[in-house]
Amino acid sequence: MKKEFFNDLEKILYEENLEKKFSKFENFYENFKSEKFVFNMEQASIFKENLNQNISFTHPTRIRRPKFTNSTKALAKVIHSITHIEFCAINLALDTSYRFKNLPYEFYKDWLEVADEEIKHFKLLNSILEELGFKYSDFCVHNNLELALKATKDSLNFRVGVVHRGLEAKGLDANPFVIKKLESSTHKSKTLLKEILAIILNDEIKHVKKGDFWWKFSKKEGEDFLSLCEKFKDFSLAGKTLNIKARLEAGFDEKECESIAKFYQN
């Protein structure tokens, strides 16, 4: 007898123990690739807040972001903030796979693939954190990505547009600045960290491209991305300086990038 896709995915999404969460997902993903699931598209989705009870949240303006990484603690803080983004990205991809029904098989395949890669990113970063003598949850974080999950939970168009095409593309913008910040570090992990960030950038371009595809799939004719930027002003969907090269690879065009940059300059 085949297992039910959404029921099993719900258990993974809301599993609080990280080790169990990742182990359950690994088994789930193997079963998915082996086509061992049935899809009950009538199953209702539940929603729970605070998907990580073991971490302390604070307002983004109260988080002190180190300008330099010339101490072990400063370096750990920078890595921790990226690790948290990757953790949130895992849950966002899982939630997108779980929450939205009656979509093509490729939709679920895409977002499970994203979740799998985000887990790999998390593990790579967390291993560096532990090498520095810290662990995930040692520093306060903001909950903007969880708020975005909640704000877009009732609309496929909003979810893939705001989160997977918007906020993930903001990560593309941030990547070069994080690498530049690492230059002030003399820690032996610096080279490995830069290699990990290169892996993350390459994978995130693919993730944003998936977001771009499903946003275009779900949007109404004539709808543009700036309308989402306007509607979701609480979530800035672009960095201060756009990573044009990465955005073009991910499905944006030059004219759109110019419009986005102009929108956030005003």
pLDDT tens by residue, 221-234: 888 999 999 999 98
Q: Pick the residue with more confidence: 186 or 19?
A: 19
Q: Which of 70, 113, 63 is nearest to 93 (CA)?
A: 113
| pLDDT value at residue 22 | 97
As given in the structure block, the two tokens for residue 164 are 């997977």
| pLDDT value at residue 186 | 83
For 164-212, the DSSP string reads IIIIHHHHHHHHHHHHHHHTT---TTHHHHHHHHHHHHHHHHHHHHHHH
List Cβ neighbours of 39 (8 Å cut-off, separation of 6 or more).
Answer: 4, 5, 6, 108
| pLDDT value at residue 49 | 80
Q: What's the whole-number mean pLDDT along residues 167-180?
A: 94
At 138-167, the pLDDT tens digits run 888 888 888 999 999 999 999 999 999 999
Q: Which of 1-10, 36-45, 46-55, 126-135 has the lowest mean pLDDT?
A: 46-55
| pLDDT value at residue 71 | 83
Yes or no: say if 137 and 57 are a contact pair by the CB < 8 Å rule: no
At 12-38, the pLDDT tens digits run 999 989 999 999 999 999 999 999 999
As given in the structure block, the two tokens for residue 82 are 């990226």
| pLDDT value at residue 50 | 66
At 70-94, the pLDDT tens digits run 788 889 998 999 999 999 999 999 9
| pLDDT value at residue 104 | 97
CA 240 to chain centre: 19
Asked if the model's pLDDT at residue 187 lies above 90, the reply is no
Q: Which of 131, 96, 124 is nearest to 22 (CA)?
A: 124
Phi, psi angle pair for 35, to nearest 5°: 60, 50
Q: What's the whole-number mean pLDDT along residues 169-192?
A: 89
| pLDDT value at residue 144 | 87
At 47-71, the pLDDT tens digits run 998 666 577 666 555 566 666 677 8
| pLDDT value at residue 189 | 84
d(CA 57, CA 137): 10
d(CA 70, CA 237): 30
Confidence of residue 97 (pLDDT cuts 50, 70, 90): very high
List Cβ neighbours of 135 (8 Å cut-off, separation of 6 or more).
Answer: 126, 129
